[in-house]
Amino acid sequence: MNIDTKKGSIMTTQLKRISIIYSVGVVIYICGVILAFRMTLTDWVKFAVFLTAYLVIGFDSFKKLSEKLMQKKIPTENILIILATVGAFGIGRYIEGVFVILLYDLGLIFEEFATDSAKRSIAEMTDIRPAYATRKTLGEEIQVEPWELNLYNIIVIKPGERIPVDAVVLSGVTTIDTKALTGEAIPQLARPGDRIYSGCINLSGVIEAKVVKTYEDSTVSKIMTMVEDAQNLKAESETFVAKFSKVYTPVMLFLSVLVMVYPPMTFSYGNWDTWIYRGLIFMVVACPSGLVMSIPIAFLGGIACAARQGILVKGGNYLETLAKADIFVFDKTGTLTKGTFSVKEVKAYGMSERDLLKLAAHVECYSNHPIAQSLFEAYTGVIDKNKVYRVNEEPGYGVSANYEGKRVHVGNWRLMERQKVEVENVEFAGSVVYVAVEKECVGYFVIADEIREDAYETLSYLRQQCNGVLVMLTGDSEKAGKAVAEELDMDYAYSNLMPVEKVEQLEEFLFIQDDSEKLVCVGDGINDAPVLARADVGIAMGDLASAAAVEAADVILVKGELFKIKDAIRIAKETIKVVNENITFAIIIKVMVLLMAVVGCFGMWEAILAEVGVMFAAILNAVCVAKYAA
């Protein structure tokens, strides 16, 4: 699979070009307004100046209109504003016509800057792509590109290297950092016969493996493909303005023409001038500038409010979707839990818990394993490495060392079994680390990830205020996943999932939901990127999230505070409330003014003033969203 690493820079250049063209048009417009008020210009000069500004400012809108026409699609959204502004030009209201397209395109540019950032950096997922592979041929090791590997090639993977393709271990024992794929922080043991996956990191031993999938079919390539496909699916969703325009545009056009032609052909026979003029007034009143512009401005206000709360939303359409969310899918490690391991329980035999911690911390003092780090944090005392010697660390088992003249073993049940030490069978949702002095077990530790303090409150809010269905998808073990799900009273929990399986499970929930239901997915790792992109709204935990998760997500919690999901939903609902208020207010006023225009109570100026009044009232209400919860 080839990823276009220049995609992001190309998209950025396009947006910059649109912004420059737009800015030039605004300058022409401002100069035209100044000249119109300070100098006496002929109508043709005014027309030429403002038409130039109109065409330059509306460049992007005209481009989208032509693209839809070329695709034989009805351009309801773009044609709505273009016809309205052309109508303003037709009655000599050049300043008003350009101002409407100016506001409309400004909202589109701001929204495009936010939403297109999600697509610019898919190539950054290459941080999990291996830089090279070491192929072994006739006893000689040759460095090649990962995509040059064929099925059944033998590869050598050294400590610190990324696994280039999916393979099966032939020789050697090591520990594998699988966090990129499963989200699980504890390294996994890999022995002959075990399957290893591309994108993971070999931590400790040198291994030889047989290629079972080419690079194009490997896990890394599939993840990147899924992210791209999921974003393409989402890109087809319609915004509120587009859906509204499909109904509003044809209705207003039909009524305008009806006002122009029906009366002079029936009860006001031959009175064409009067009814054409009233039809033009009707079109001016029907101009949806206030309604159309207040909607994106309301969403921008919601986005600004969310940003002040430490929530980055990549587009107003995600606020609209978030307000309807009722299915919430969570990753476990780093999302519902802190992603860091700590000692949860200490059980000592024949000594104090403090002495047991001291003993284990000294034996583990040369190890970089996450379990060793958790023991250091729990002990907090001074470690004298001079008392520790003959250290033997065995990947997947533990550490043995001499300490104060005795042989001490710290590790899992496998190490105890190898050393022929009888231990208690402890059942906990975490890693059990036994400590033995010579052949006697002197205690054990239970080390596990911690549930975030704000997870309880957040999930309770989603359950009660959003009638939410709470789901957990994790690559962790069933025991660990079940313990967290039960503690948080979640509805469904699926464990031992690879990224592909997470997407498959997510698709099942998407399949059973109807149009009024929306699914939100929350995650932090590279392994979560595909589901974040495929969900109706993907939320990334910003402080811990990988670049892939951040770019695939639609909403980013900058500081990784889970409770900010509540704020995001509140802001989304407030934004939709303002949008609905604007729609209701604008329609009521427009209906009243339209009726008065048809019967001749309103002239052109009154119609324009009414339209401007509706626009400013709607925009003022929309701006209030930005102050919500500030």
User: Which residues does the annotation mark as catalytic?
Assistant: 331
Name 451's bridge partners. Answer: 337
Question: Tokens in use for 313?
Answer: 């939303």
Where does 436-563 have alpha helices with state H? 453-465, 478-487, 499-512, 529-534, 547-552
CA distance 320 to 303: 11
Q: In what order do the strands lie in the sheet with 154-157?
A: 140-144, 133-137, 154-157, 207-211, 167-171, 195-196
Give the number of C-alpha atoms closer than 13 A to the C-alpha of residue 373, restricted to the C-beta side. Answer: 9
In 10 A of CB 423, how many CB atoms? 18
Helices vs. strands in the chain: H and E counts, helices first: 21, 22
User: Which one, of 135, 204, 210, 212, lies nearest residue 176 by Cα?
Assistant: 204
CA distance 413 to 390: 21
Place of tokens 């978030």: 322
Strands 406-411 and 398-403: antiparallel
Q: If you write DSSP's letter for every residue of 318-370 in order, what string do you get?
A: HHHHHTTEEEEEE-IIIIIEEEEEEEEEEEESSS-HHHHHHHHHHHTTT--SH
**Alpha-carbon torsion (502, 503, 504, 508), positive or negative:** positive
Using CB atoms within 10 A of its CB, is residue 453 exposed (0-12), middle (13-18) or buried (19+)? exposed
User: Which one, of 485, 482, 477, lies nearest residue 329 by Cα?
Assistant: 485
Q: Which helix (H) or strand (E) is 523 found in, with range?
A: strand 518-523
